[in-house]
Amino acid sequence: MQIFGFISSIPQLNKFRKDPDKYTSDEKFAFLKKLAAKSLKKVKINVNVIGRERIPKEPVLFVINHSSMLDSYILVDSVDRGIGCVIADEPVWRKIPIASKWIELSKCVFINRKNNREGMKAINQAADNIKNNHSMAIFPEGDLTWVKDDNAYISDFRSGALKIAYKAKCPIVPMVIKNSKGTYEGYQPVGKINSKDVEVEFLNPVYKHIENPRYKTVELGEEIRESMIEKMREFDNAKCERAAV
């Protein structure tokens, strides 16, 4: 279904690429959002979103946990604006047919995690996107949660990515994706999808790094991570209580 969805998007993709100035970022994103929602609906992954009203109107950095290869679809389906993602600079993402062109149009940024100088260039580019009124999103775990720690709600953050918000002087909005583990079996672009109900919650925006630019990214990252874990625990506890009734 993912492959079919991307193939069906080719005509619109060609329109956007042929005359990019003719279309606004909102128009491009609206098409992607519709595509993501349709793809999730086809495989019966139902997404319930709460807390969207907490997102500031200004450009932000979304910080998201990463339990499934489908989280990018869930992200696009859930947010209220066009976004670009910070993506690991791996050949599979640069070369994957069709999707790589959408990645480019969405103002995504590839980050080299093995070269600090190149990594900082990506952070600066993402910050510039935000300064130019285009929100960005990061998955600061740096990999799927269960790959790093199968027992964790959310694995340790690579908190250096939060420097994007420091440089852009923008709010950070934590976005918690609950119950997405198991929606996708595998670690490759093609895998088995399992139907599930997923809940997304946007938490209160974070401004501490703007108020105190010297506040350490490691400490801020851990505070954000713990607030996200708390929401995931609350979700699991509520699910257990419903099952016990």
For residue 106, the model assigns a pLDDT of 82
For residue 172, the model assigns a pLDDT of 98
pLDDT at 95 over 70: yes
Give the residue with greater pLDDT, 182 vs 53: 53
CATH number, domain with residue 234: 3.40.1130
User: What mean pLDDT is predicted for residues 30-47?
Assistant: 90
pLDDT at 4 over 70: no
Contact 109, 65 (CB under 8 A): no
Give the residue with greater pLDDT, 160 vs 9: 160
pTM higher than the cut 0.75: yes
Q: Is 195 exposed, middle or buried (0-12, 13-18, 19+ CB in 10 A)?
A: exposed
User: What mean pLDDT is predicted for residues 230-236?
Assistant: 95
pLDDT at 189 over 70: no
For residue 225, the model assigns a pLDDT of 98
- Please state, in angstroms and rounded to a whole number, the distance separating the CA atoms of residues 70 and 138: 15
- Please state, in angstroms and rounded to a whole number, the distance separating the CA atoms of residues 223 and 139: 15
Cα–Cα separations (whole angstroms), residue 67 to 137, 176, 235 = 15, 10, 15
82: phi then psi, degrees, rounded to nearest 5: -65, 140
pLDDT at 28 over 80: yes
* Paired residues of 136 in beta bridges: 61, 84
Find the helix or strand (DSSP H, E) in which 31 lies. helix 25-42
pLDDT band at 3 (very low <50, low <70, confident <90, very high): low
User: What mean pLDDT is predicted for residues 225-235?
Assistant: 97
Contact 100, 93 (CB under 8 A): yes
Under DSSP, is residue 151 helix (H, G, I), strand (E, B) or coil?
A: coil
Cα–Cα separations (whole angstroms), residue 104 to 31, 110, 238 = 15, 10, 40
pLDDT tens track for 147-156: 888 899 999 9
For residue 69, give the nearest of 160, 175, 177 by alpha carbon.
Answer: 177
Looking at the 3D structure of the chain, how many domains does it have?
Answer: 1
pLDDT band at 188 (very low <50, low <70, confident <90, very high): low
Percent of the chain at pLDDT > 90 equals 58
Cα–Cα separations (whole angstroms), residue 63 to 9, 18, 28, 124, 206 = 27, 32, 22, 17, 10
pLDDT band at 19 (very low <50, low <70, confident <90, very high): confident
User: What mean pLDDT is predicted for residues 108-122?
Assistant: 89
* Paired residues of 135 in beta bridges: 83
User: What mean pLDDT is predicted for residues 175-190?
Assistant: 84
User: What mean pLDDT is predicted for residues 110-117?
Assistant: 86
* Paired residues of 88 in beta bridges: 111
pLDDT band at 88 (very low <50, low <70, confident <90, very high): confident
For residue 218, the model assigns a pLDDT of 97
Domain membership of residue 73 as a residue range? 2-244
For residue 38, the model assigns a pLDDT of 87
pLDDT at 93 over 80: no
DSSP letters spanning 71-138 = HHHHHHHH-SS-EEEEEE--HHHHHSTTHHHHHHHTT-EEE-SS-HHHHHHHHHHHHHHHHTT-EEEE
Give the residue with greater pLDDT, 211 vs 190: 211
Token readout for 68 is 């499934």
